[in-house]
Amino acid sequence: MAIKVAAIIGSNRKESYNLKLVEYMKKRYSEQLDIQIVSINDVEMFSADIEENPPKGAMDFKIKVRNAEAVLFAVPEYNFSISGALKNAIDWMSRSGHDLKDKPTFIVGSSMGVLGSVRAQLHLREIISNPTLQTKLLPGNEVYIGAIHTKINEQNEITDQATSDFLDQVVNNFVEFYNKIK
């Protein structure tokens, strides 16, 4: 049975390469992972003044993540870090409900640049190590896809064989990891 995965796309851009990457993963790994894309677009700005009664967009987002068996972050890089929209969504998950705590998690990221979101992922790893988030992060499987625009076609298929093979290995590693800790 496929693992129910909430895929959090770290960008609110319509033509996000990370969204395209996750759409590819959703199709390619459908027998192993039941990937549901969870948008950050409608998540209202976090405020401690309203954290005990989250607005609809934030609550819907939190519930989708909470109901998943695992989480996939697909992370772009904005000014050497994660996007403000992603940080805001994570802030909501750290409060009232601790939606990520102990959830099996893995990270992928792509960018048009050569480093493939490495700095953003470093920041994300630091953020989700916070005790109120503390996911169970897949160790030793870092997916940084640089020059993504040259490796994906208009049908959102990865055309670079080495990238595709590497993703296959990471997904297999995640499924093994998930089965060990669940």
Query: Nearest 5°: phi and psi at 19?
Result: -65, -45
Identify whether the C-beta of residue 145 lies closer than 8 Å to the C-beta of residue 151: yes
- What per-residue confidence (pLDDT) applies to 102? 93
Tokens of 122: 């470093």
Instruction: Indicate whether 74 pLDDT > 80.
Output: yes
Residue whose C-alpha is closest to residue 18's, from 32, 3, 4, 39: 39
Mean pLDDT of all residues belonging to the chain: 96
Instruction: Give me the pLDDT at residue 12, please.
Output: 92
119-168 pLDDT per residue, tens: 999 999 999 999 989 899 999 999 999 999 999 999 999 999 999 999 99
For the segment 88-97, the average pLDDT, to the nearest whole number, is 91
What is the percent of the chain where pLDDT is above 70? 100
CA distances to 72, 82, 118 from 58, rounded to whole Å, are 18, 19, 27
What is the C-alpha separation between 167 and 140, in angstroms, rounded? 13
pLDDT for the residue 82:
97
With a CB cutoff of 8 Å and minimum separation 6, the contacts of 126 are none
Binning pLDDT at 50, 70 and 90, where does residue 98 land?
confident
Query: To the nearest whole percent, how much of the chain has pLDDT over 90?
Result: 95
